[in-house]
Amino acid sequence: EADIYQTPRYLVIGTGKKITLECSQTMGHDKMYWYQQDPGMELHLIHYSYGVNSTEKGDLSSESTVSRIRTEHFPLTLESARPSHTSQYLCASSPSGLAGARGGTDTQYFGPGTRLTVL
């Protein structure tokens, strides 16, 4: 069982609101990721981080931003939410090095996700 947490699990907000989706992991993993997933579709990487003070954009363009001030914490922020942002957001983490605690270097452990609905 992965020790990675996301809050809130569900969020319904109005257009124009600023929101922050929280993600925390207690496994000491250096790498963390944010994915966006629409129903019946594949996961798309929107942000990732190699470690503290490191953030990169992923394959899918996103208006969200992320920060990595602490190893265990990787929050995602939307400054002004729009209906097009409605989706499921999944956070993941993975260990660095050749052998992680439970797998290879790219074993990713996922949080339960945040289902965001923007009205």
Partner 1 sequence: KNQVEQSPQSLIILEGKNCTLQCNYTVSPFSNLRWYKQDTGRGPVSLTIMTFSENTKSNGRYTATLDADTKQSSLHITASQLSDSASYICVVSDRGSTLGRLYFGRGTQLTVWP
Of 56 and 79, which has the nearer Cβ to partner 1? 56
Which amino acid belongs to residue 49?
Answer: S
Backbone dihedral angles phi then psi of residue 68, each to the nearest 5 degrees:
-140, 80
Of 14 and 97, which has the nearer Cβ to partner 1? 97
Binding pattern to partner 1, positions 73-112, x when CB under 8 A? -----------------xxx-x--------xxxxxxxxxx
Got the DSSP string for 34-85?
A: EEEE-TTS--EEEEEESSTT--EE-SS--S-EE--SBTTB--EEESS--GGG
Of 2 and 27, which has the nearer Cβ to partner 1? 2
Query: Which parts of this chain interact with partner 1 (CB under 8 A)?
Result: 2, 4, 31, 40-45, 48, 90-92, 94, 103-113, 115
